[in-house]
Structure 1
């Protein structure tokens, strides 16, 4: 255990059914004119209109940028930043999935400190000023971005997902209302739910894990194991949606204060190069990476196995670790998660890009937090295994 540990969360967290109604009031705590950053899906659902109405009721003037329609890029950040400056805004409200919240975090940082968002990757440029206050309102149960000090922005010139971590990226307020997740279709519920599971598992097995992150990560794993299939099968199951929203926030806080590991390191290049949504690319990798990790994190995987399959009895540590791997596979199978191959990525193009993806994965730093730190060649091999992976072969274990 590290001798001195640090734990950070948003200043304020509002959660539970109906908490979205506080968005305008919270924005008014920090400024007089808000920039709403969201997407067209939220607009079509009426959520952006409701958010703007809540701000109007609270006496907060507003402008809106509703163009975060893919995973966040530096282009979106620059466009939203320009609107923020032109409209003389002083607070930001992010409404949507992790893409909207991550884009908003980047705008909040750059609006206060200047430059290009990529300048802050790896601490190359110091953050000298407090960011613009940010109210984060997630509408999916997955990324946990509302509780993290991380943003991931694609550099469109280089096809690289830039992972930027700094305490300044923590939202001022997180509003977690499960009612906003009810509109998520099954495919989004599945992908974001497995994303949250990846966050929790990686936070727990990380070399940087600590007691507080362990508590949140294990609670999240248990909640997800009990509720994700229910939310996927019946999107109107509000109890399951509520538990998933809570689990996502817990998992986000856990990995933000611990770290993600190999799954995320390998996942980001897939998203950057082949434009696979983040939650899907994480899910494609999770079982194979857990199998690769088995012997290096036996005891912790055994704990995870017990949480994912609480009806098991009389098993050894080794067997419980195998249960964790098998249950991750079974979950991906039950949620109809695509493999790399079934997603439709051409094998020749995959092979052409695999060396770059492995290099980018290592450069991100996340694999260095993994219990078994991989070499470049091992990551290449894992990418090859994941291309052909079969979620239905529950009994198989990757060497």
Structure 2
């Protein structure tokens, strides 16, 4: 692997306990006078905004809040947030939450400086100008959205996920404070944790992977595999929460630079169909998708197994790959997650429809180490029941 590569990250990344206290100073540095906070009802109810309010007030900044970001946000929800943004004349936007709040904030910011309809943003690099400054404060260890150039929304008109992928929506500042994840319930810890794990694994085997992303993704895989169980068992385990936050952040960096592939392509239609969280939509088709593509990168699957602590010494490449896939499924089951489509109410009669939709995601399938036909995709769905 002797090719060149480039690295995309936010301008500043603040990681560690109590970094949330710096949100006001960072907003001030970005030129804030009036700040718009975007979050969801759960974050607001949990009291996670209190240190944000305190920090903003400490800098003498005015702020207002949009606290109705939806899970897997719809385009209509995005438009509601943008309406408040336009009327409020804000100059810095701060997301406090998981991927939904951060994705919404990134695109709302871009809507302040780009003309036209939000529908024009969907696809790759369709945001001509950077938005107003943004700060991403993550409250989950999972999506990695704080450090990525992607934002995902549900288009209810066609029941599909739509993606904005553009350098111009990458945050100015990302704040990753493990303290902000301590209040998360087990179900959220599990679903977001497996999301981070899958991001790391997919980035590691991606066509666009580089020596740098391989190193980061493999370490992220190890961190999540070792710490998801302890964080799930005891949400106040500070070491586990710290390492999960680090693993998720590293997975996001690797995703942002190497991309993801077939697992995400197959997850989009079922996530929209059954209104599954992103992590759940990924995990129910993850094992069979990875098994299908393992033939194209067997040495990497051995390294993945080793990163997860699976003993593959003396095994053939095929056997090591099988053990890696088994370990991936076991990690999910350990934290109570479903691993098949049957467990989330999947309907086998929908396979052809899903396969067609997933195969249309050539941006993702093109980054997968094995070429998959629509028949291959349908077979993965079938085996995932």
Q: Please indicate the TM-score interval, normalised by the length of the shorter structure.
A: over 0.9
1:119-138 matches, within 5 Å, as 119-123=120-124, 125=126, 127-138=127-138
Write out per-residue CA displacement over residues 226-252 of structure 1, whole angstroms, 9 at most, x where no aligned residue.
111111111111100100001001001
Instruction: State the match for 1:64 in structure 2.
Output: 65
**C-alpha distance 111-156 of structure 1, shift in aligned 2 (>3 A):** farther
1:344 to partner: Cα distance: 3.0
The CA distance in 2 between the partners of 1:313 and 1:305, in whole Å, is 10
1:17-96 matches, within 5 Å, as 17-30=17-30, 31-96=32-97
1:179 to partner: Cα distance: 0.8
Further displaced range: 376-385 or 220-229: 376-385
For structure 1, the residue ranges without an aligned partner over 5 or more in a row are 389-399
**C-alpha distance 116-360 of structure 1, shift in aligned 2 (>3 A):** farther
The CA distance in 2 between the partners of 1:313 and 1:358, in whole Å, is 37
Q: 1:370 aligns with which of 357, 368, 371?
A: 368
1:273 to partner: Cα distance: 1.7
Write out per-residue CA displacement over residues 339-370 of structure 1, whole angstroms, 9 at most, x where no aligned residue.
3222234x2xx523x33322222222212211
Write out per-residue CA displacement over residues 137-188 of structure 1, whole angstroms, 9 at most, x where no aligned residue.
1111000000111111122222121122111121100000011111111111
The CA distance in 1 between the partners of 2:206 and 2:65, in whole Å, is 38
1:77 to partner: Cα distance: 1.3
Aligned length: 382
The CA distance in 2 between the partners of 1:101 and 1:333, in whole Å, is 28
For structure 2, the residue ranges without an aligned partner over 5 or more in a row are none
Q: Quick check: 1:302 aligned with 2:299?
A: no
1:358-397 matches, within 5 Å, as 358-364=355-361, 365-386=363-384, 388=385
3-state SS of paired residue (1:336): coil
Q: Is the contact made by 1:302 and 1:318 (CA closer than 8 Å) also made in structure 2?
A: no
The CA distance in 1 between the partners of 2:382 and 2:311, in whole Å, is 34
1:117 to partner: Cα distance: 2.7
The CA distance in 1 between the partners of 2:210 and 2:118, in whole Å, is 30
The CA distance in 2 between the partners of 1:259 and 1:2, in whole Å, is 19
Q: Is the contact made by 1:362 and 1:368 (CA closer than 8 Å) also made in structure 2?
A: no
1:71 to partner: Cα distance: 0.9
Q: 2:353 aligns with which of 348, 356, 371?
A: 356
Instruction: State the match for 1:14 in structure 2.
Output: 14
Write out per-residue CA displacement over residues 77-122 of structure 1, whole angstroms, 9 at most, x where no aligned residue.
1111111110100110000011110111111122211333331222
**C-alpha distance 188-253 of structure 1, shift in aligned 2 (>3 A):** same
3-state SS of paired residue (2:163): strand
CA RMSD of aligned residues (A): 1.6
| TM-score (structure 1 length as normaliser) | 0.92
The CA distance in 2 between the partners of 1:380 and 1:310, in whole Å, is 30
| TM-score (structure 2 length as normaliser) | 0.95
The CA distance in 1 between the partners of 2:59 and 2:358, in whole Å, is 45
1:34 to partner: Cα distance: 0.9
1:1-399 matches, within 5 Å, as 1=1, 3-30=3-30, 31-123=32-124, 125=126, 127-309=127-309, 311-338=311-338, 339-345=340-346, 347=347, 350-352=348-350, 354-364=351-361, 365-386=363-384, 388=385
1:306 to partner: Cα distance: 1.0
Q: Is the contact made by 2:130 and 2:169 (CA closer than 8 Å) also made in structure 1?
A: no
Q: Is the contact made by 1:183 and 1:235 (CA closer than 8 Å) also made in structure 2?
A: yes
The CA distance in 2 between the partners of 1:76 and 1:340, in whole Å, is 28
The CA distance in 2 between the partners of 1:358 and 1:111, in whole Å, is 36
